[in-house]
Chain A
């Protein structure tokens, strides 16, 4: 009997070691929750100040930006989007560093670097693609493309971290693909993909792995 219990423990050790040595497990669920909240606040500020509390349609605003006779500039939107992105990335790092320290794990490992590389390739491609969209005055398609490339990045990075990230990526891709066909609802899809999904996934992962 004692031997059987030992074998059971042995197999647990084997699984744990195989997982810990191939996956980056310091990613914190709080990062997701925070990114979701900031995205929603960012979208709300757009609605409040740029869309004048809903008086202007998002698609009208975007098509206006490419019209030289339209009085509104796009700077506010760009600043808003970059601030959201910056805050989300910064706090993703802060929460994950904190988790790594708490678990007494190194943050920079060959695995975490591999994960970052796999994350950045689709993200960088998406970034260049979106710049091309801006130059071609195709502003309506920015949000759908951001969602799609972000989803691809997560699917790619998911192999090196919690498997939930892979599925989160799939959902982001699906939302992005749907958004491609109704691009005038971009703000709604932004809220769903970057806001709601992040909060749900982040909270679920926090409950599952960090409590």
Chain B
């Protein structure tokens, strides 16, 4: 039993983080406001999850200016991508054993 669970990653346990990582797996870059809309979250809630993922080295932040407006976008790191793939495989295995 332990072997199946072992790949389930604590960092991705929250649905919101799962959502963030899913988006970044299929988009090379995604900005804060688009995240807010896709995931339907408040600023504070989204920011705290993004920060947690960044601290774990799963995503990186790119701050830039579009005209005069500051724009923050995020990308998944290589570590983030491979850890998320492992997590996904583990989830699929759990379901297969049902």
Contact = CB atoms under 8 A, between A and B. Distances in A.
Interface residues of B, number: 20
A21 B18 contact: no
B3 interface: no
Given A11-B91, A106-B37, A22 B26 contact: yes
A13 to B, nearest CB: 6
A154 B49 CA distance: 38
A4 B94 contact: yes
Interface in A75-116: 105-106, 109-110
B91 A7 contact: yes
Contact of A21 (B27, B91, B92, B94): B27
B25 to A, nearest CB: 7
A22 B27 contact: yes
B11 interface: no
Interface string A146-186: 00000000000000000000000000000000000000000
23 contacts: A3-B94, A4-B97, A7-B95, A10-B18, A11-B91, A13-B19, A13-B22, A14-B18, A14-B19, A15-B22, A17-B18, A17-B19, A17-B22, A17-B39, A18-B23, A21-B23, A21-B26, A21-B27, A21-B38, A22-B26, A22-B27, A106-B37, A110-B34
